[in-house]
Amino acid sequence: MPARTGAEYLERLARTRTHVEIQGETLAGGMASHPAFRNVVRSYAELFDMQHDPAHRGVLTYPSPLTGDPVATSFLIPRTAADLAKRRQAFKLWADRSLGMLGRTGDYLNSALMALASAADWFGQTDAAFSRNIVGYYQKVREEDLLCTHTLIPPQANRALAGSQQAGGALMAHVVREDDNGIVVRGARMLATIGPFADELLVFPSTVLRGTPEDKPYSFAFAVPSDARGLRYIAREPLDYGRSHFDHPLGSRFDESDAVVVFDDVHVPYERCFTLGDPELCNGFYTQTHAIEHMTHQVVARTTAKTEFILGLVSLLVEAIGIGQFQHVQADMAEIITTLETLRAFGRAAEADASLNSYGVFTPAWAPLNAARNLYPKLYQRFPEILRKLGASGLMATPTEADVTGPAAADIDIYLQAATLSGAERVRLFRLVWDTCISAFASRQALYEYYFFGDPVRMAGAYVASFGTSPYADRVRDFLNRP
Ligand SMILES: Cc1cc2nc3c(=O)[nH]c(=O)nc-3n(C[C@H](O)[C@H](O)[C@H](O)COP(=O)(O)OP(=O)(O)OC[C@H]3O[C@@H](n4cnc5c(N)ncnc54)[C@H](O)[C@@H]3O)c2cc1C
């Protein structure tokens, strides 16, 4: 089956009976029409449609090795620099469409599945079936163009304990029994963004597991359909309040729901399991398969798109109210430009230093990507801060669309005019700035950028430990010992 259209994504979603708890309501499907999800689902459908747009399909698709039909470029196993560049172009094209605000577009986890399936031999270390399973699953997701999400971390009950020790081991999702054709999973995982409207849930390892027999039931990687029996999502309060695009330009389009995942004795057939009962393999899941490089390659393309949006937004704001001549404003803009150029440089360096890995996959260099993933969570936090500082009281002079077209229209036109914009145009712009730096949607974006790839504090610890600082220490030691 070729890459899906938006209509095909929506048709499948209409048949999917995902169990979602939201605001006291129990849903069994119907996400495409539910007020909490319908607008973001439409944004996702537009991405699928782009795959069929003559202007984009050359970048967004390639011929399936199985059928020759066009399938999404994010599944392409890169063998050359040109393949890697094509993947990046496809990531960027999709990211630009949402201004980088959609963090869980399918290309993120398609990239992971591509790398995992390419490392099939690694999965076969304990059982050849796992290697067949990961390849079969990757092909299924590619050919059916399924939208996947993932869930990694244990519930946040008590971080002083290992996840597997919380509440006597009952909280964190674990295997309670095996039967002739699969495993039964009980417990919870903390979060799955877009879970309610994804086709598939990847239940992958994340936190470091101890190599002890007690951690074996918590050691697995598998995939289930979002509407698997016994699987429930508990969604957070929506940040799309059903307002117009004028009033909530981002929240009304891009509110990716986040949801707690509960496994109430979910049966997972063996053919959907990729590793079982092996904490050591789980701990090496992303690094030894090189999935992490390909996921981060997508992330850098998306965060580049997002930073370009922020720069464009700040430029319009500065121009609108005539503050471009002030030096501190220029310093703030320079900071955004520096972040943008830093991301671009990391992306280029990762591709320039790419090499074939042991599975024959042309893989972007990890060092620049690792630097990017350690930097951006912190750098992004400055953007809303800069927007608030430069927008100042203008961010509160933000009447709604009903005011702009209602009895206050004349006042708004006169008193809310900007140096370069009419009153109505200025309100439209400032509402976008507000939705980027002040609204609940904006706060969730800042939290997302800070945490979605892991805790920056612990990432920093792993970064330092893996970097190898001794040559530099030796050089200084030599200097100190110079006569
Ligand atoms: C908007 C959003 C969307 C997300 N989407 C997903 C998703 O789709 N799928 C998914 O699996 N996950 C998702 N996550 C979760 C994300 O992976 C985690 O937020 C991240 O790994 C940090 O873990 P935590 O939130 O449990 O923080 P915690 O581990 O609970 O940390 C809380 C605080 O305690 C500190 N702390 C805790 N333990 C330690 C320690 N050992 N050493 C030092 N400091 C410590 C942390 O630094 C932090 O300040 C999402 C998170 C957010 C915010």
pLDDT at position 234, please? 98
3-state secondary structure of 95: helix
Number of Cβ within a 10 Å radius of residue 470: 9
For ligand 1, say whether the CB of 156 is within 6 Å of any of its atoms: yes
Number of Cβ within a 10 Å radius of residue 142: 23
- pLDDT over threshold 80, residue 19: yes
Number of Cβ within a 10 Å radius of residue 135: 18
Tens digits of residue pLDDT in 90-130: 999 999 999 999 999 999 999 999 999 999 999 999 999 99
Instruction: Look at strands 19-22 and 25-28 and give their pairing.
Output: antiparallel
pLDDT at position 164, please? 82
DSSP per-residue codes, 124-172: TTT-HHHHHHHHHHHHHHHHHT--EEEE-PPPSS-TTS-GGGGGGGTSB
pLDDT at position 215, please? 87
Mean pLDDT value of segment 436-459: 97
Q: What percent of the chain is modeled with pLDDT above 90?
A: 95
Higher pLDDT, 1 or 394: 394
8 A C-beta contact, residue 147 and residue 6: no
* H-helix or E-strand spanning residue 465: helix 456-467
Closest listed residue to residue 384, CA positions, set 313, 334, 464: 313
Closest listed residue to residue 91, CA positions, set 432, 351, 435, 312: 351
Tens digits of residue pLDDT in 302-323: 999 999 999 999 999 999 999 9
Residue 96 Cα, ligand 1 centroid: separation in angstroms?
A: 27
pLDDT at position 314, please? 98
- pLDDT over threshold 80, residue 211: no
Instruction: Look at strands 220-225 and 174-179 and give their pairing.
Output: unpaired
Tens digits of residue pLDDT in 403-418: 999 999 999 999 999 9
Residue 301 Cα, ligand 1 centroid: separation in angstroms?
A: 23
Q: Whose CA is nearest to atom 30 of ligand 1?
A: 156
Mean pLDDT value of segment 445-455: 97
For ligand 1, say whether the CB of 193 is within 6 Å of any of its atoms: yes
- pLDDT over threshold 90, residue 288: yes
pLDDT at position 376, please? 98
Instruction: Look at strands 200-203 and 220-225 and give their pairing.
Output: antiparallel
Closest listed residue to residue 127, CA positions, set 205, 206, 46, 221: 221
Residue 451 Cα, ligand 1 centroid: separation in angstroms?
A: 6
Q: Whose CA is nearest to atom 40 of ligand 1?
A: 458
Q: How confident is the model at residue 346 (pLDDT cuts 50, 70, 90)?
A: very high
Residue 390: both structure tokens together: 């430069």
Exposed/middle/buried for 354, CB within 10 Å: 0-12, 13-18, 19+? Answer: buried
Pocket mutation for ligand 1, best pick of 299, 451, 459, 464 (most atoms within 8 Å of C-beta): 451
Mean pLDDT value of segment 143-171: 92
Number of Cβ within a 10 Å radius of residue 422: 15
pLDDT at position 377, please? 98
CA distances from 431 to 13, 251, 396 (A): 32, 11, 9
User: Distance (Å, rounded) from C-alpha 136 to C-alpha 120?
Assistant: 10
Residue 450 Cα, ligand 1 centroid: separation in angstroms?
A: 9
Mean pLDDT value of segment 14-27: 98
Q: What does pTM read for this prediction?
A: 0.97
Q: How confident is the model at residue 148 (pLDDT cuts 50, 70, 90)?
A: very high
Mean pLDDT value of segment 419-440: 98
Torsion angle defined by CA atoms of residues 431, 251, 52 and 54, in that order, rounded to the nearest 10 degrees: 10
3-state secondary structure of 389: helix
Pocket mutation for ligand 1, best pick of 159, 254, 443 (most atoms within 8 Å of C-beta): 159
Number of Cβ within a 10 Å radius of residue 132: 14
Q: How confident is the model at residue 175 (pLDDT cuts 50, 70, 90)?
A: very high
**Can you say whether the dihedral through the CA atoms of 361, 362, 367, 372 is positive or negative?**
negative
User: Distance (Å, rounded) from C-alpha 141 to C-alpha 114?
Assistant: 10
pLDDT at position 119, please? 98
For ligand 1, say whether the CB of 448 is within 6 Å of any of its atoms: yes
pLDDT at position 356, please? 98
Exposed/middle/buried for 98, CB within 10 Å: 0-12, 13-18, 19+? Answer: buried
Atom of ligand 1 nearest to the CA of 448: 1
pLDDT at position 343, please? 98
Closest listed residue to residue 84, CA positions, set 267, 265, 293, 373: 293
Mean pLDDT value of segment 65-92: 98
Pocket mutation for ligand 1, best pick of 191, 236, 262, 441 (most atoms within 8 Å of C-beta): 191
- pLDDT over threshold 90, residue 437: yes
- The overall average pLDDT reported for the chain is 97
User: Distance (Å, rounded) from C-alpha 380 to C-alpha 303?
Assistant: 9
- pLDDT over threshold 90, residue 213: no
Tens digits of residue pLDDT in 238-266: 999 999 999 999 999 999 999 999 999 99
- pLDDT over threshold 90, residue 208: no
Pocket mutation for ligand 1, best pick of 152, 153, 255 (most atoms within 8 Å of C-beta): 153
